[in-house]
Structure 1
Amino acid sequence: MKYLTPILDTNRLRLRPLSVDDASEMFHNWASNPQVTKYLTWPAHSDESLTRESLLVREKQYQNKEILDWGIVVKETNTLIGTITVVECYENQCTMEIGYVIGEPWWHRGYTSEAFVKVIEYLFNNFSWLNRIEATHDVQNPNSGKVMQKCGLQFEGVLRQRGKNNQGLVDTAMYSILRADYEFLSQAQLPL
């Protein structure tokens, strides 16, 4: 299936496709920070050329419509602060898995959850076959789980040594939101 990554807006954020022109901001705002990449599957970039290479791959995926991947931009300052991505699509299971990263200066400001809620809304409203959105985090990174809960995802359990990141094999906490959950929250006008 082909995917077009659209521009999405929230109160404070613009979610947009990335380009190679974002290399400097991405490198300086999060990709080079070992604290930020500690729980990711890729290590901190030691040189901006690595960031540029990763963005060249993404540009090709955008052109081929093989990716749903947004840069998170703070509207007020036009600063690129992170990304939120459909990291896996399991069409046979009607499921998409979300991953996200945000630069350390923007932690604990609600930006990640604001972006995630918008992506959840977009995915459920534009993919009729989609029934489940899931996300996981290293159990040593509980703040990521707080984001998931804030966005309406429910904790399902811990998968022992199911993940691999810069820490090696790790236990991962699994969260999900089903279409029925989303529709209930939307109809009840409850904040996700």
Structure 2
Amino acid sequence: MSVPILKTARLQLIEVTDEHAPALFHILSNEDVTRFYGMNPLQKQADALNIIGSFKHTFASRQGIRWGMVTRDSGTFIGTIGLNHLSLYSKKAEIGFELDPAHWRRGYATEAIEAVLEYAFEILELYRMGAVTFVENEASVQLLMRIGFEEEGMLRGYLFQGGTSHDGRIFSLLKPDYHVNRQERKQANQI
């Protein structure tokens, strides 16, 4: 079984393979990206290969799915997005993503998140999608809330990075709310 390909207007979400290691290393060695990622910047390209290996293992064990975000026009690898802590039995997962700063503020993350949410709620038939952010990560907080996630509270000491535990803000989107939000966005775009 292979990672399903998802398409948006400007992106293809594809399986991350070893050929993507240089691009993944470029992204995850950037301190601006990893500042709120829950890990320190990568130091060597072998680390990117190890992460890709963990993506494959997580998918094979049905505990998650990680897609590479590739632009449809140029084929440029610009980041990853995925379902973490996937439980098909419990019908839930957490969404996580990172994007090359050269592509920030262009709507790519929104496109990718919406495609993954559609896949999660419609194909996998999940009921709950969670997301955890660093308290200071206002860009991700605003993005999640714009898509329809609701803040549930604080997870004290939940995230560990840089030798320190950090509090995390937890958000969720339930399938019924996703359908309402999706319908409202469609109607707003038709006006």
TM-score by length of 1: 0.87
**Residues in 2 aligned to 1:94 and 1:138: alpha-carbon distance in whole angstroms:** 25
**1:126 and 2:95 equivalent?**
no
Greater mean deviation of Cα atoms: 85-94 or 98-107: 85-94
How far is the alpha carbon of 1:106 from its aligned partner? Answer: 1.2
- Deviation, 1:190, is 4.8
Where do 1:1-192 residues align within 5 Å?
A: 4-28=2-26, 30-62=27-59, 67-91=64-88, 93-128=90-125, 130-166=126-162, 168-188=164-184, 189-190=186-187
Identical residues among aligned pairs (%): 28
Q: State how many pairs are aligned.
A: 188
Query: What RMSD, in angstroms, separates the aligned Cα atoms of the two structures?
Result: 2.2
Is the partner of 2:148 in helix, strand or coil?
coil
Distance in 2 between residues matched to 1:98 and 1:186, nearest whole Å: 17
> Could you list the runs of 5+ residues in structure 2 that have no partner in the other structure?
none
What do residues 147-170 of structure 1 show as CA deviations (whole Å, max 9, x unaligned)?
A: 211222112222232222347211
* Partners of 1:72 and 1:84 within 8 A in 2: yes
Change (3 A) 1:56 1:174: closer
Contact kept in structure 2, 1:7 and 1:14, CA below 8 Å:
yes
Counterpart-to-counterpart distance in 2, 1:49 and 1:163 = 24
